[in-house]
């Protein structure tokens, strides 16, 4: 979240919850809440390296030669020169690198098979997504969400964007109707959740 997004987010909190009690769940329910990014899967350092393409094998072999012939060129410029050379080569000239690529591909497939048969897959499997119980009580909504729902229901032919609704909400002097709705909804949720947990 950059500085501008943070300012927008904090302003939204002030507008939405000014003078009222709220929980972290209320903030998470807001449209402007930035959901945390999922962590990338950590790559096993013991996993076999993928097979190299014919082009990569060619550049690995030719890089030093091109660098010696063009000492003033940057890495990007050298890559461009090698790319031009590769495009101008005949299929016969490329065959050596294509064959080496095929050998490396077979090496990778064999190593991958050995790796997967010897590794404990239970450690690398992604955790299963928690299945939501359809019988669980529906989470309560805050006053802003009730306001948005009411506005959209009153004017189904008008497409109310979150931004437009936020302006309307900020301009609304008497929010008591929606605050009462949110309070009743929270009481409903607490009661239903208690009953639900007792029956588990």
Where in the chain are all domains bearing CATH 1.10.30.10? 54-121
Q: What is the predicted pLDDT for the residue at 197?
A: 85
Topology annotation, domain 54-121: DNA Binding (I), subunit A (1.10.30)
Q: What is the predicted pLDDT for the residue at 35?
A: 54
Q: What is the predicted pLDDT for the residue at 149?
A: 86
Sequential DSSP letters for 59-124: HHHHHHHHHHH-TT--HHHHHHHHHHHHHHS-HHHHHHHHHHHHHHHHHHHHHHHHHHHHS-HHHH
> How many CB atoms are closer than 10 A to CB 178?
21
pLDDT digits (tens, 9 = 90+) for 48-104: 888 889 989 999 999 999 999 999 988 888 889 999 999 999 999 999 999 999 998
Mean pLDDT by 10 residues, the chain (200 residues): 66 62 63 58 83 90 91 89 92 92 90 82 54 83 86 74 74 88 91 84
Quote the pTM value.
0.41
Q: What is the predicted pLDDT for the residue at 19?
A: 58
């Amino acid at each position: 979240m950059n500085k501008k997004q943070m300012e927008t987010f904090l302003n939204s909190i002030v507008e939405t919850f000014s003078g009222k009690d709220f929980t972290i769940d209320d903030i998470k329910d807001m449209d402007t809440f930035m959901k945390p990014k999922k962590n990338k899967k950590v790559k096993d350092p013991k996993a076999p390296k993928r097979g190299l393409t014919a082009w990569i094998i060619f550049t690995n072999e030719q890089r030093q030669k091109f660098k010696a012939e063009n000492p003033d060129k940057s890495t990007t410029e050298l890559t461009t020169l090698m790319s031009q050379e590769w495009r101008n080569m005949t299929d016969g000239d490329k065959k050596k690198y294509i064959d080496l690529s095929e050998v490396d591909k077979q090496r990778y497939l064999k190593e991958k098979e050995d790796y997967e048969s010897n590794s404990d897959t239970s450690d690398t499997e992604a955790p299963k997504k928690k299945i939501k119980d359809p019988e669980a009580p529906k989470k309560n909504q805050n006053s802003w969400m009730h306001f948005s729902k009411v506005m959209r229901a009153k004017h189904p032919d008008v497409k109310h964007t979150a931004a437009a609704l936020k302006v309307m909400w900020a301009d609304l002097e008497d929010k008591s109707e929606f605050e009462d709705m949110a309070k009743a909804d929270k009481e409903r949720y607490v009661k239903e959740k208690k009953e639900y947990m007792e029956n588990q």
